Copies of this chain bind each other. A is one copy, B any other.
Amino acid sequence: MLAEMNKSQLEIVEAAADCFANYGADAVSIDDIARHLNATKGRIYHHFRSKSELLCAVRMRSVSLMYDQIAPIVARASDPLDAMKQMAFTHVQLILGHHSYHRVVSEDFRVFFNRSTTPDERRQIEEIIEKRTAYEELFRGVIQKGMDSGVFAKRPISLTVHSLITLLNSPSIWYSPRPGQTQDDRDAIAHDLAAMALGALGVKV
């Protein structure tokens, strides 16, 4: 269910992401999401059994959006430096373009795990974590190759991967879309952050 969504489901998930991002997942009810969507609760419950299922759908969509764009870049790029330049830029672009999603995702899973969860919820959470790990592996692979070939500074790989992804995720915390902001504005932000990421990897930029 998490992997493919039809148009009606996607609309609900978009509305849920907006609500969660603006008010925090804890504070949002299915009622709030229905109101935001200008729909009935029934329409939401037709597709999603619970708020936690919606939260899973939001998280899954956010990581899938990233994975589906970045994986082809890794497959196509000629070398680690070329790959990382495109990966960093595209990652930030996706954060800026799907801001609500990533705002939600930057909250972690502890809350989930501390609650009583159903087997079904656990399965969904595991699926999301698996996808996130696969995404992280894309970065790990490119960074390791770049370290091996000497274009990136040699540092502990896990520290490097985690702090680099945190840097690239940072607009999910500090960026708020403003009215009138254009694609050029977002490009400029992505460009600057990609340059900072490459600098952090020890590339002379």
Question: A: which residues have CB within 8 A of B?
Answer: 23-24, 26-27, 107-108, 110-111, 114-115, 153, 155-156, 158-160, 162-164, 166-167, 169-171, 173-174, 188-189, 192-193, 195-197, 199-205
Q: Is the interface of A mostly helix, strand, loop or mixed?
A: helix
Contact across chains for A24 and B162 when beta carbons are under 8 A apart: no
Please name all residues of chain B whose beta carbon is closer than 8 Å to the beta carbon of A196 when the two chains form the complex.
155, 160, 163-164, 200-201
Query: How far apart sit A193 and B71, CA to CA, in the bound complex (Å)?
Result: 27
Query: How far apart sit A85 and B52, CA to CA, in the bound complex (Å)?
Result: 44
Query: How far apart sit A195 and B200, CA to CA, in the bound complex (Å)?
Result: 7
Contact across chains for B163 and A193 when beta carbons are under 8 A apart: yes
Please name all residues of chain B whose beta carbon is closer than 8 Å to the beta carbon of A163 when the two chains form the complex.
167, 170-171, 174, 193, 196
Taking CB as reference atom, which chain B residue is nearest A152? B199
Given A107-B107, A153-B195, 17 other A-B residues pairs in contact with their CB atoms under 8 A: A23-B114, A27-B111, A153-B205, A158-B174, A159-B189, A159-B192, A162-B174, A163-B170, A163-B193, A163-B196, A166-B167, A166-B169, A166-B173, A166-B174, A167-B170, A197-B200, A200-B200
